[in-house]
Structure 1
């Protein structure tokens, strides 16, 4: 069924369900997410399924049965578990945006979907990582603007185990019942999280972020130079880190600090759930993609 708009029973012209869905996540989603295009398409797929299967007119009328129907549809299409998990992440983004997050189970296992580990634990070459951090610090002291940004981002990743994009976008401090925390932004699916500042390296990292933001003239308190877009900043960070020897093959890529963070937390006795929540995983996934068995 193809249409630009339709009239509801009350005489009100309704936009297509997929258009409504995209408008909602546009209001409630971090525009910087590297998975944005995939989420957009997955959101449209879900909305189109609900529209065609149930003739729904208003996306705010979503119910658990619509999610369950979509899950069954994906299984009938014989999609692999990884693809289904990605699509369910888009569904969660949408239902959270419309204020109905409770209609989707938190764990994909409730739908008979379990994602296999997409990565293996990495034991960081910490001396190489520290060497790259020192080069960035030296270049930052020489007022190289890209190096200043990359230096601050690297310290955040090292101290908090952030994703590369999160390390560029996170700068805000908030008060929580447990103390001052860094509000992490730019996560997959747009889910912000607050990480309590609990040690000297974390305190030092947020101080560096504040200093770099001010030095670069950022009007947003972030460490991205005002003359650069997020995409330009992300690419510049990735390129510079690789040029300095930070690659996956050298066990020193930008993602390795997440593995180190998980491994340290595990050694300190944190639970699996606490580790994965700290790293920003919305599903109850196993931490053994980060921690050697």
Structure 2
């Protein structure tokens, strides 16, 4: 029965081809969750009979679960997609703050990376990689890119290509939000070592596209394996050793080197200098 309402919701919103594969998967997962809630709580059988009080009740349940504002924002986006698809966009407020959800407090919250825990995780990954574990091989190289270039988790899996120009080498960052690649100059010894590790790992894993993802894994499978393994090794947001903390550490170090927020923002793949407030105090 639950699958029937889920199927109705998914069919109504369509394929959302404009979104990246991981964003689309998250959206569809949230749509399924909302449909299951409406059916189990209210016995809803037709998604086009969705009512405002069902939306309110669902949001109340999210608050009760203590979800982070960013997670709740994603789930609200899915609810809006469903409401819009059934011709009832007006039953969901446009502003998340109407439901007591705001990302402002967590968006600009620079984090201090737990260097000791990160080093422990890297040591474990190195041991596993040297033992031939293919996921660990992928993750070790991806971690080097995050540490040395401040890449996002997805970017670190998809980035491997370098180009030469005017006597300099640039890393071509792929998988960015918006889909547009950016180029980062390979400046330091650490960055050069990371680029070599990526090239060697891609060759060892046998990826025909010279990427870090083992050919037997799809992108989502690789992304999930990286996230779950990192968490299993003790890398969490609570202890400051999650993967995104490496991006914060990079931004803080680079701002200390350059004193230039615009440069840091551009290297991180942000168009607005003000976004550096998410990574750096002051």
Q: Which of the five TM-score ranges fits, normalised by the shorter chain?
A: 0.5 to 0.7
Distance in 2 (alpha carbons) for counterparts of 1:205 and 1:127: 20
Gaps of 5+ in 1: 1-18, 49-76, 82-114
SS at match of 1:174: strand
Judge conservation of contact 2:22–2:220 (CA < 8 Å) in 1.
Answer: no
Q: 1:238 to 1:201 in 2, by over 3 A?
A: same
Judge conservation of contact 2:146–2:156 (CA < 8 Å) in 1.
Answer: yes
Aligned to 1:194: 183
- Correspondences of 1:190-269 after superposition (within 5 Å): 190-269=179-258
- Correspondences of 1:29-108 after superposition (within 5 Å): 31-34=20-23, 78-79=94-95
Judge conservation of contact 1:152–1:208 (CA < 8 Å) in 2.
Answer: yes
Q: 1:34 to 1:133 in 2, by over 3 A?
A: farther
Judge conservation of contact 2:108–2:277 (CA < 8 Å) in 1.
Answer: no
Q: 1:35 to 1:191 in 2, by over 3 A?
A: farther
Counterpart check, 1:185 vs 2:174: yes
Offset of 1:252 from its aligned partner? 0.5
Aligned to 1:139: 128
Distance in 2 (alpha carbons) for counterparts of 1:267 and 1:145: 36
Corresponding residue pairs, total? 212
Aligned to 1:156: 145
SS at match of 1:188: coil
Distance in 2 (alpha carbons) for counterparts of 1:156 and 1:200: 13
Distance in 2 (alpha carbons) for counterparts of 1:176 and 1:36: 37
The CA RMSD measured in Å over matched residues stands at: 3.3
Distance in 1 (alpha carbons) for counterparts of 2:275 and 2:203: 39
Offset of 1:269 from its aligned partner? 2.4
Distance in 2 (alpha carbons) for counterparts of 1:205 and 1:192: 19
Distance in 2 (alpha carbons) for counterparts of 1:243 and 1:160: 24
Instruction: Give TM-score, length-normalised by structure 1.
Output: 0.63
Distance in 2 (alpha carbons) for counterparts of 1:158 and 1:150: 12
Identify the structure with the greater helix proportion: 2
Counterpart check, 1:281 vs 2:259: no
Offset of 1:78 from its aligned partner? 5.0
Offset of 1:266 from its aligned partner? 1.2
Given candidates 156, 162, 167, the residue that maps to 1:173 is: 162
Aligned to 1:121: 110
Distance in 1 (alpha carbons) for counterparts of 2:231 and 2:250: 21
SS at match of 1:245: coil
Gaps of 5+ in 2: 1-13, 28-76, 85-92, 98-103
Distance in 2 (alpha carbons) for counterparts of 1:219 and 1:135: 27
Judge conservation of contact 1:121–1:259 (CA < 8 Å) in 2.
Answer: yes
Offset of 1:285 from its aligned partner? 3.2
Judge conservation of contact 1:32–1:186 (CA < 8 Å) in 2.
Answer: no
Offset of 1:212 from its aligned partner? 0.8
Distance in 1 (alpha carbons) for counterparts of 2:226 and 2:121: 12
